[in-house]
Structure 1
Amino acid sequence: MAANLVKNLQEEVTCSLCLDYFQDPVVIIKCSHSFCRDCIGKHYKEVGTDVKCPHCMQIFQWKDLMAIRQLANMVEIIRKMGRETEEISEISRHIEMVKDAIRSREKDMDEINENLSQIKGVITEDFGAMKERLAQEEGEILRIIAQEQQTAQQKTEEIIGQLTSKLNKLAEFKTQMERGAHNSLLKQLNVEGEVCTGPRVTLNDEKIVAVTSAVEQFRKQLESILERDTKQLPSEFGSAKYQAAPKVQPGDLLAEISVASSCPEPADSSPDPVISSQFAPWAENVTFDLERIHRQLEVKAENRKVIVSLYPPRYKDSPNRFRISQVMCSQSFSSGFHYWEVITKDSAGWAVGIADRKIGSGERLGRTELSWCVEWTNGQLSAWHRNQKTPLKEGRPMRVGVFLNLPDKNLSFYSLAKEETHLHTFEINILEPVYPAFWMYGLDEKGSLSINHIKKE
């Protein structure tokens, strides 16, 4: 009702010639019709003689015009009311989004409590089994180590005795050489060497290495089981169902211990590589436009990152500045192939797309004829155009690629993680250049979107 009242008042203070709010309003005394001074003046000059009121066609003279200061004041009040009404509408939308988020979080918490109860029981059971298994395997491994150490010590003592005997022979040989009896002693040494020659005795270090390897392998198996149990906890309090870690049957480890066993190589713990898009050759270096950005948003990192800020900078006045939590890029495209990527993982609600330069300062991305986007809000991914929503089955993407194919007149969106997943494609038809555009959830304090730097291949 309040919005209709404001609309009716706006119509009352609108000039019928320029269809805008009155500027320096004047009234024709004879018929009481009001116009902007410049508008009626232009009309008066064009007609010349026998000038008639554009409304009632009554003839009037320039002296019949009178300024109306009260009407000018009313125009300013109604202008302010219109702005406040738009702000109230935006706040109402934010409130509804917050309510939806609270309801969603309450539902998630119920699922989390249920999952935690299940996880607690399973972990208790698994840890009891692992503790018993550990005690058994520890005793067996220590017994094997003690046996192998005793055997190695005996072999070592035998080798030391043989080496000591040979060293004494060499010392005696040196002494005899110094006395001039080299030939006779050399012959004697050869004969004795044949007596000492026998099977080669070597220290069985391989068994020690094998046992050490088995201990290390057993430790890693335990760590692996613990890691699998820990990973079953819901990520960021999500609702993933817990799956118990498989139990290792007793005796598996000892069956792997042999003289020829070796230490297993550690598993690759490096993170999954960041996939490179197939559209990288058409990558564009796009940056945010400081004249097409809402006052509560702040740009950083060489105009490649935008955040919701409590203390944004003071931007200069611009008629094109958005009145909603939205921003466009400086670069525009009217032909060819173009690609850019947006990191969305740090924003609770966002929209990524393109728009014509003429999009209104209060018009949201995807709600107009010449804007297209993919949007994540209220836990749902969807595509928007002409205020029409198309739900998408994919989950929340952490990195979004945008490919603009103007020769074929289509716009495609992709999710980039371990692989490149197609999200949605629009058929577009444009006559004017389009710009990359973005919407952010205005109450997401410190939430951010970042334009990913792509190295052309």
Structure 2
Amino acid sequence: MAGLGPGPGPAVPVWLTEDDLGCIICHGLLDWPATLACGHSFCRRCLEGMWGAGRRWACPTCRQGAAQKPRLQKNTLLQDLADKYSQAVRALDGRPDPAPDPGCGPAGGSPSHPAQLPLAAWKSSTEVGPELAELVVQLKDIITSLRSLRHLSESGPGNKPSLLGTLVTNDTFEGKMRDILRALEGVQEKLQEKFPWKEAPEEQTQVELLEAPSSSSSPLPNQSHPAPRRVSQFAQWAIIPTFDLESLSRSLEISKDGQTVTVVQFQQPYPWSRQRFSTCQVLCSQALSSGKKYWEVDTQYCSHWAVGVASCKMSRDQILGRTRDSWCVEWKGTSQLSAWHMEKETVLGFDRPGVVGIWLDLEAGKLAFYAVANQEKLLFECAVSTCCPLYPAFWLYGLSPGNSLSIKQVRA
């Protein structure tokens, strides 16, 4: 694949995801991208569709307006990048280049591919493909082994294992765990040799390993005894809100228990409602108007998200944190954590929290966000208006179907 820049030259690996080249309106790759004066870019057809629906000539992201309808011009650089990304996805999937399509978004041929792809790769797709396939097979074997541990460590109904049987089971369990960990390390080394990425925090890795399916209390091999996460300091105020069907964007769906919201590939035929968001957002059903409340959100399975609170009066065509009556923290696909309110951004850092705790003290008019691991670490604190009820609010940058956010059970 050709490198960036004019004329022939060395190929420089530049890793991009769909988040980097996506349109916030249609949730697909940019098609005929137009860049507004504020610097945000969208598909021309998407912008004209929003403005044609009676909305003022404002940016859908930051809401910066214009006195008259802007003249939309094609951003040729963004279009070229989006085309190269599409070609790379098709090459990895073994698909031929499609005929030009004037549409945009998923209907216009944009790939729904969650993986990161280099515009200029170290190896061709024909070399990388078989290697990745082999690694996938190894990972499947590892997952199968992990699942078998549950049956290995459990006794049948009504059976009481002997002391000898218990010892044998524990020895076998630890042996299997040791084999699985070694296999995982081997796969990790191979992936690191072929593709560069940031190392996951050690603390997060330990938590994930501790949550592997098992009823055994034996410690993991070759590890110290990590202290279990202590009881949350906010446990007595914990709530488990559920997502609201009335406000749910057509690009999202809710789990049966109402505690997980997921981006879908195709827009859903939900009935029309004034409360429904036009962008990939949703509120929870619970109105919070008094007292102290705390809830936690699992963000590990969403590449770009925002979580916070908003009033029920928040405009349904605006973005969380860009209004007077909404507050949030947002993780960008570009590896940046920020707080947002009234279109003002406060950069918080570059570490991604796997779980976000949200503390709302309506008596004091305060809102705080925490990164939750073995303990709660304060990320940001601000004042909120309590003149009307507030609702837990969520935004999923919906470019990759399967992106999801979940309400977690707070550890009491």
Change (3 A) 1:333 1:108: farther
Match of 2:352 in 1: 396
Change (3 A) 1:106 1:391: farther
Selected match of 1:350 from 305, 310, 317? 305
Match of 1:381 in 2: 337
What are the superposed Cα offsets for residues 305-351 of structure 1, whole Å, 9 maximum, x if unpaired?
A: 11111245421211111111100001011111101111100001000
> Within 2, Cα distance between the matches of 1:318 and 1:222?
54
Match of 1:305 in 2: 260
CA-CA distance at 1:83 after TM superposition: 2.5
> Within 1, Cα distance between the matches of 2:388 and 2:345?
24
* Match status 1:82 vs 2:38: no
Change (3 A) 1:426 1:83: same
Give the aligned length. 252
Match of 1:362 in 2: 317
CA-CA distance at 1:422 after TM superposition: 1.3
What are the superposed Cα offsets for residues 36-76 of structure 1, whole Å, 9 maximum, x if unpaired?
A: xxxxxxxxxxxxxxxxxxxxxxxxxxxxxxxxxxxxxxxxx
Change (3 A) 1:300 1:266: closer
Aligned letter for 1:399? V
Q: Is the 8 A contact 2:61 2:319 kept in 1?
A: no
Coordinate RMSD, CA, aligned:
4.7
CA-CA distance at 1:285 after TM superposition: 2.0
Larger Rg: 1
Match of 1:245 in 2: none
SS of residue paired to 1:374 = strand
Selected match of 2:282 from 303, 307, 327? 327
* Match status 1:267 vs 2:221: yes
TM-score by length of 2: 0.50
Q: Is the 8 A contact 1:109 1:237 kept in 2?
A: no
* Match status 1:454 vs 2:399: no
CA-CA distance at 1:87 after TM superposition: 11
Runs (4+) off by over 3 Å: 1-4, 78-81, 84-93, 104-112, 221-241, 265-276
Q: Is the 8 A contact 1:111 1:239 kept in 2?
A: no
> Within 1, Cα distance between the matches of 2:367 and 2:393?
13
Change (3 A) 1:267 1:450: same
Selected match of 2:364 from 408, 414, 420? 408
1:17-416 map, 5 Å: 82-83=52-53, 237=195, 239-240=197-198, 267=221, 273-274=228-229, 276-311=231-266, 313-378=268-333, 379-416=335-372
> Within 2, Cα distance between the matches of 1:81 and 1:275?
50
SS of residue paired to 2:367 = strand
Q: Name the one with the larger helix percent.
A: 1
CA-CA distance at 1:355 after TM superposition: 0.4
> Within 1, Cα distance between the matches of 2:372 and 2:119?
26
SS of residue paired to 1:288 = coil
> Within 2, Cα distance between the matches of 1:437 and 1:276?
25
Q: Is the 8 A contact 1:293 1:322 kept in 2?
A: yes
Q: Is the 8 A contact 1:329 1:436 kept in 2?
A: yes
> Within 2, Cα distance between the matches of 1:81 and 1:237?
42
Q: Is the 8 A contact 2:60 2:319 kept in 1?
A: no
Q: Is the 8 A contact 1:367 1:385 kept in 2?
A: yes
> Within 2, Cα distance between the matches of 1:2 and 1:418?
43
> Within 1, Cα distance between the matches of 2:348 and 2:307?
14
CA-CA distance at 1:359 after TM superposition: 0.2
Q: Is the 8 A contact 1:394 1:423 kept in 2?
A: no
What are the superposed Cα offsets for residues 377-425 of structure 1, whole Å, 9 maximum, x if unpaired?
A: 1311100011000001250111111010112221111111233221111
What are the superposed Cα offsets for residues 173-196 of structure 1, whole Å, 9 maximum, x if unpaired?
A: xxxxxxxxxxxxxxxxxxxxxxxx
Q: Is the 8 A contact 2:36 2:59 kept in 1?
A: no
SS of residue paired to 1:281 = helix
> Within 2, Cα distance between the matches of 1:83 and 1:391?
34
What are the superposed Cα offsets for residues 213-252 of structure 1, whole Å, 9 maximum, x if unpaired?
A: xxxxxxxx999999888766777955458xxxxxxxxxxx
| Higher-RCO chain (CA-CA 8 Å, sequence separation at least 6) | 2
Change (3 A) 1:111 1:278: farther
Identity over the aligned pairs, expressed in percent?
A: 35
SS of residue paired to 2:382 = strand
> Within 1, Cα distance between the matches of 2:49 and 2:187?
59
Change (3 A) 1:368 1:81: closer
> Within 1, Cα distance between the matches of 2:388 and 2:220?
57
Match of 1:154 in 2: none
SS of residue paired to 1:292 = coil
> Within 1, Cα distance between the matches of 2:243 and 2:179?
50
Change (3 A) 1:375 1:3: closer
Where do 5+ consecutive residues of structure 2 fail to align? 1-33, 38-47, 64-74, 86-114, 124-177, 200-218
Match of 2:29 in 1: none
SS of residue paired to 1:342 = strand
Change (3 A) 1:437 1:106: same
Match of 1:444 in 2: 400
> Within 2, Cα distance between the matches of 1:226 and 1:296?
38
